[in-house]
Chain A
Amino acid sequence: MLTFILRRLLIAVPTLLLISLAIFLLVDLAPGSPASQIPLTVPPEVKAKILAAMGADQPVLVRYVLWLKQFFWVEPAYWIDSRFGTNLADGAQRIISYQTRAPVFITIGERIPQTMTVVGAGYLIGILIAVPIGIYSAYRQYSWFDQAGTFFAMMGFSVPTFFTGVLLIVIFATKLHWFPSVYDTTLLVTDWSSFVAQIRQMVLPVTVLALFNAATISRYMRSSMLDNLGQDYVRTARAKGMGEGTVVLKHVLRNSLIPVVTVIALGIPSIFGGAIITEQVFKVNGLGAALITAINANDIPMVQTLTFIFAALIVLFNLVADVLYGVLDPRIRYA
């Protein structure tokens, strides 16, 4: 197992390097320029100087190598310095965003908490809704509950979040005034009333995301359960006189969860990626919103760093999913 993990990690290094180059070239070759963010009232000479100060006028390969150095050497050095009070970085330039003219990791650090809370909660609640629905739908296949579950899943799949989000705002914020339409990132949970405020502002975005996530996962859960319910060992268990509860929740559920757990693990990087549309609709201003504004502003360092982190997380959670598979299913052995 350990050699398997080590081998996979080693393979990940060239993979990630290749990904980083591909992203950099894609972002750079895409049309558009940070200059478009500078108002027309700024004369061309000044504009040229601004771009030079950003480093945006350098050739693409120079910028890529600089980014590699900053990402893999300078940024970790700053992190170690801040942790242990060393002076590894020695004032080297960090990755600077074109928009904020400040290190991109400051923005990322500020954005992670709200993304984790809102998108993470949406994912978690989505799973909690999806698993029971999937189990019962499969157990009572073609019952009215199964039909309703299928309908609900189809809704979640096919209605886009920008529609459900705005719909919920119009009903619950504009008309009923139950929940706020703007997420307050400055709210600190210190007592009961601020906790209630936090819950209230999370209700709408989390509902939208949970609905969307639950739709996918409940379908996986259902089909996996259906696969197992028809197996011989289920008949054997029943023949041995086991109660339906034990058969379904112990034998069938355990086996059916194996593929679902991998699906869930593979979905975790998408939490970090934020929910671009939902964050935008509810002004959560998490990582997803950071990515989309950076793309709009042609803020290459920010786009590059964020997408690369997402890529690294996807590679990592693929490995986690593979390992989990082996842990959950003793039949699988890694050579």
Chain B
Amino acid sequence: MYMRTLLLGAAGAMALATAAFAERGADGEVKVLYWQAPTTLNPYLSSGTKDVEAASLVLEPLAGFDDKGAIFPRLAESIPTVDNGGISQDMTTVTWKLKKDLKWSDGTPVTSADVAFTYQYCTDPNGGCAQAASYEGIKSIDTPDAETVVVTYTGPKPYPYAAFVSALAPIIQKAQFEKCIGAAAPTCTEQNFKPIGTGPFMVTDFKTGDVVQLEANPNYRDPAKPAFAKMTLKGGGDAEAAARAVMETGEYDYAWNTQINPDLQSQMSAAGKGHFVGGFGSLVERIEMNQFDPSPDLPEGERSTAKHPHPFLTDLKVRQALSMAIDRQALVDVGYGAAGKPTCDLVPAPEGYAANTTDCLKQDLEGAKKLLDEAGWKMGADGVREKDGKKLHILYQTSTNPVRQDIQTLVKGWWNEIGVGVDLKNIDASIYFGGDAGSPDTFEKFYADVEMYANNFNGTDPEAYMTQLLCSKIPGPDTQWQGENIPRFCDKDYDAKIAELSKTADLAKRQELVKELNNMVSAKGLVTMAIVHRGTLSAASNALDGVAINPWDTEIWNAQDWTRKK
């Protein structure tokens, strides 16, 4: 008995010691710069990264992804799996258990009713919920007790970590949002601007598009955290000015998304006040090879549709030659610096899913010429190859953006060298990505031979991403040009493998399948020609400890662990 008391006392003393060592709010204020300022703190009303990340300081999901891409519990006690019984054998139900004694920042308990409400809120047909995709395939949500949530899917869901997982799908408080469902959502300004959450911070003031002021949440589950009593998240300006405020003037501790050119990166690092932090998620800059003919000679409504296959980009040899002619490392050096890596894969990460193809990394202009010769494309008098009276001439489009225009110019030079004629075109991003079915310039319509943009997937599982390339998802006039299969790739074997993937729960097997799919469409098939694996690049002050940039979830996922360097 005596011994036990002694031990308990010792343990208590140790707990006290660590508490004294790291005390909530001991480090004063931390200042963060998001040059694109958050406009709302309700991630269900805006899909913008700036809004989702700012809200992640306040609102938390059941589970999130860490900086390595591994899933870890946040509000949940543990991650449900088939092995621990959290996922049913037939993979249709998932049971989440909440941590004990969780409290909202207003002191009221977090219950399973809040989780069920969150689902209800986002799936209301009139709400226009930005994260509705996270809750797709859910049949019902049951709450047998205050700490248990049972999610039932309409069919087997081998990878169920989208609903209530990651900063895109956090839990909101039922009591606060009860009257804000559906069409009423935008009338709840107070709620959307100052959501009550469970995260390390709570909002004290929010000026939309300008600044968020936060304070340490007194009810945060770890009594020693966060180390900062206050956080200011300021917006405005541009990436370069944001980087300067951390790296050169030292006015801010952390600046988000400071993508600036490689020269400036090294120049600012030399000031010695801060350092750039980067992480590589799934974002890939790619050149899509249109499998359908976009020729303007075709009648409107038939351009870039299945009626007319592309005259030469359907030939693998031509695509290979185009890929071989590109020096991907040079593109990285010119455009991205530390925030880019050359890649041949549509899925270059996470680790297990990446095929790590290296064939394309070395530029081979002679080889490219030889391939075109073999394919029957003979050099014409004007330096452009031709075959059966058809010129090897490409229209190459992308959005207006200085880095993309640099890349276009470089690629055009290499392609010209192997005898391919190239016309460049750039389109304002608000039109290119605007999805207006009436505009000829959207990237979905793809009225060009090749086009460049970047895309990624949420979280760490690429299933939905790979599913975008099913034959049935090709955009066309009958679907108002909606559809995510931009290169118009269509392969029965690919579709079959997708069907298999949707039934496979075993991780190793899934990874193998994704690699095969990746090879079919990009690494070997080159319909989607991956060129640069793009990372996030942010700036952190040298006086800030604990920054671990996370490309898989919100970048500031561990703000509760940040401390001031003493």
Contact = CB atoms under 8 A, between A and B. Distances in A.
B123 to A, nearest CB: 11
Contacts, number: 168
Given A100-B40, A285-B236, A290-B209, A36 B434 contact: yes
- Residue of B42, B209, B431 with most partner-chain A CB within 10 A: B209
Interface string A30-50: 011101111111111111111
Contacts of B129: 46, 49-50
Contacts of B244: 169, 174, 181
A296 B49 CA distance: 16
A70 interface: no
Given A93-B187, A173-B249, A110 B207 contact: yes
A280 B240 CA distance: 12
A225 interface: no
Contacts of A293: 37, 209
A205 B191 CA distance: 34
Given A45-B482, A182-B245, 6 more contacts: A35-B435, A36-B432, A42-B47, A42-B130, A100-B209, A182-B236
Given A283-B236, A284-B236, A185 B211 contact: yes
A44 B444 CA distance: 11
A181 B241 contact: yes
Contacts of B130: 38, 42, 46, 50
Given A99-B39, A174-B244, A33 B436 contact: yes
B435 A283 contact: no
- Residue of B237, B238, B482 with most partner-chain A CB within 10 A: B237
A39 B186 contact: no
Interface of B: 33, 37, 39-40, 42, 45-49, 125-130, 132-133, 183, 185-187, 189, 192-193, 205, 207-211, 213, 232, 234-238, 241, 244-245, 248-249, 251-252, 428-436, 439, 441, 453, 455-458, 482-484
A174 B251 CA distance: 10
A17 interface: no
A177 B249 CA distance: 7
Contact of A281 (B37, B46, B241): B241
A31 B186 CA distance: 26
A102 interface: yes
B482 A101 contact: no
Contact of A40 (B48, B248, B455): B455
A50 B430 contact: no
A180 B251 contact: yes
Contacts of B432: 36
Given A96-B186, A173-B249, A285 B241 contact: no
A293 B35 CA distance: 11
A228 interface: no
Contacts of B211: 185-186, 285
A53 interface: yes
B133 A46 contact: yes
A267 interface: no
A53 B232 CA distance: 31
Contacts of B482: 44-45, 48
B165 to A, nearest CB: 14
A298 interface: yes
A42 B439 contact: no
B426 to A, nearest CB: 14
Contact of A102 (B37, B47, B193, B436): B193
A185 B37 CA distance: 13
A296 to B, nearest CB: 7
Contacts of A48: 482
B285 to A, nearest CB: 12
Given A31-B434, A42-B133, A36 B429 contact: yes
B554 to A, nearest CB: 14
A17 to B, nearest CB: 27
Contact of B128 (A43, A53, A93): A53
A215 B248 CA distance: 32
A42 B47 CA distance: 8
A182 B208 contact: no
A182 B428 contact: no
Contacts of B241: 169, 181, 281, 283
A50 B238 CA distance: 27
A107 B248 CA distance: 31
B128 A285 contact: no
Contacts of B430: 31-33, 36, 296, 298
A186 B245 CA distance: 17
Contact of A101 (B125, B192, B209, B210): B192
- Residue of A36, A50, A281, A282 with most partner-chain B CB within 10 A: A36
Contacts of B458: 41
Nearest to B128: A53
Nearest to B126: A53
A284 B235 CA distance: 9
Contacts of A173: 249, 251
Given A37-B48, A47-B435, A49-B128, A99 B209 contact: yes
A289 interface: yes
Contacts of A298: 430, 434
